[in-house]
């Protein structure tokens, strides 16, 4: 089922003029971009199988390359993913594949479901202005639509309430005040995984050149070195790096327009497949970002 959903989403993205690449067994399955839109999509039959470590890596990668993380799924352990509803998994929005494709066409969902409770976001300023204009106190509204004053007060104060309360308010004031959920704006708080000794050596040196670093455990690359220009995607390996990892590193770096680099330690590996192999000892002799970039370009 998961493969059929992946193919369905790929077809929908291509039909909307997205460029895309696909991976297997990582924190995301598809990277898709078009003009100013860049999305990382994880597709799951059971969204509860997605771990917190994968979520951290997905948000981390989104932050590193300027992409929006989204999870598409069919069901959870004990529930089905309903169309036009938005769920969450470790701070990342989860939607049905149909809802995802509709959102690409700006047909956005309104209902956010957390722990079995459905809520809708509302325009509190607009609601307040309408209430004042219509001379509607919370007491009057309560008596008219059969909702408690406290519920109405909290709705206007917090900007969230149940879907049936919003429907009752909108019917009374004859105006839509609900706000859609932008599924491409998941919160981006994440934990970085602990670095290996080789990664620590590398990032301590590159930070002096002005790079910020992002490290991953379940992504197609192990490290992203981010700068205003000439950012790098890296693997840092003391031992052999297999062909599949090199292929994935090159594929993602080319898609994101980053430089692909493998950092090695005490090995005689030569650059290959358009990927620069650089020994950590060589970086110790470098004094600037410019020198590092020249070294990398000379190896690609």
**What is the maximum alpha-carbon separation in the chain?**
80
Could you state, in chain order, the average pLDDT of each consecutive group of 10 residues for the chain (300 residues)?
89 97 96 95 95 95 96 92 95 96 96 90 95 93 94 95 94 94 83 86 94 95 93 84 88 96 77 84 91 90
**219 and 293 assigned to the same domain:** yes
**18 and 38 assigned to the same domain:** yes
Predicted confidence at residue 267, as pLDDT, reads 63
**12 and 105 assigned to the same domain:** yes
**52 and 126 assigned to the same domain:** no
Domain stop point among 58, 90, 109? 109
The boundaries of the domain holding residue 146 are 118-179
**169 and 202 assigned to the same domain:** no
Domain stop point among 84, 109, 134? 109
The number of distinct structural domains making up the chain is 3
**30 and 104 assigned to the same domain:** yes
In a domain, 187, yes or no: no
Predicted confidence at residue 250, as pLDDT, reads 95
Pairing between β-strand 85-89 and β-strand 92-95 as defined by DSSP bridges: antiparallel
**158 and 205 assigned to the same domain:** no
Predicted confidence at residue 194, as pLDDT, reads 86
Predicted confidence at residue 237, as pLDDT, reads 78
Q: Whole-angstrom Cα distance, residue 144 to residue 184? A: 37
In a domain, 124, yes or no: yes
**149 and 217 assigned to the same domain:** no
- Quick check: helix, strand or coil at residue 22? strand
**92 and 6 assigned to the same domain:** yes
**287 and 266 assigned to the same domain:** yes
In a domain, 184, yes or no: no
**204 and 253 assigned to the same domain:** yes
In a domain, 190, yes or no: no
In a domain, 211, yes or no: yes
In a domain, 192, yes or no: no
Q: Which two tokens stand for residue 58?
A: 């997905």
**151 and 222 assigned to the same domain:** no
Predicted confidence at residue 271, as pLDDT, reads 64
Strands in the chain per DSSP E: 19-22, 30-34, 37-46, 68-75, 85-89, 92-95, 111-114, 117-122, 160-161, 178-179, 212-215, 223-226, 232-237, 259-264, 276-279
Predicted confidence at residue 238, as pLDDT, reads 66
CATH of the domain at 288: 3.40.1350.10
């Amino acid at each position: 089922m998961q493969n059929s959903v992946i193919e369905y989403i790929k077809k929908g993205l291509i039909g909307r003029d997205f460029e895309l690449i696909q991976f297997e067994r990582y924190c995301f399955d598809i990277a898709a971009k078009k003009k100013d839109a860049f999305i990382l999509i994880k597709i799951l039959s059971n969204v509860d199988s997605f771990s917190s470590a994968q979520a951290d890596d997905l948000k981390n990668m989104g932050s590193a390359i300027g992409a929006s993380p989204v999870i598409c799924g069919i069901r959870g352990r004990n529930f089905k993913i309903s169309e036009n509803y938005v769920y969450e998994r470790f701070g990342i929005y989860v939607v049905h594949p149909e809802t995802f494709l509709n959102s690409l066409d700006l047909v956005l969902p309104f209902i956010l479901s957390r722990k079995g409770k459905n809520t809708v976001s509302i325009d509190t300023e607009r609601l307040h202005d309408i209430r004042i204009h219509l001379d509607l106190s919370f007491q009057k509204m309560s008596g008219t639509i059969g909702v408690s004053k406290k519920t109405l007060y909290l709705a206007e104060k917090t900007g969230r309430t149940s879907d049936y309360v919003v429907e009752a308010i909108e019917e009374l004031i004859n105006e839509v005040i609900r706000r859609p959920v932008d599924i491409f704006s998941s919160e981006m708080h994440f934990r970085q995984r602990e670095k290996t000794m080789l990664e620590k050596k590398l990032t301590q040196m590159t930070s002096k050149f002005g790079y910020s670093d992002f490290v991953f455990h379940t992504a197609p690359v192990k490290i992203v070195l981010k700068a205003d220009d000439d950012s790098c995607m890296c693997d840092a390996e003391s031992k052999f790096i297999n062909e599949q990892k090199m292929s994935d590193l090159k594929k993602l770096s080319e898609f994101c327009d980053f430089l692909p680099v493998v950092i090695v330690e005490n090995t005689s590996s030569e650059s290959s497949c358009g990927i620069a192999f650089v020994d950590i000892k060589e970086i110790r002799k470098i004094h600037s970002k410019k020198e590092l970039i020249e070294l990398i370009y000379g190896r690609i």
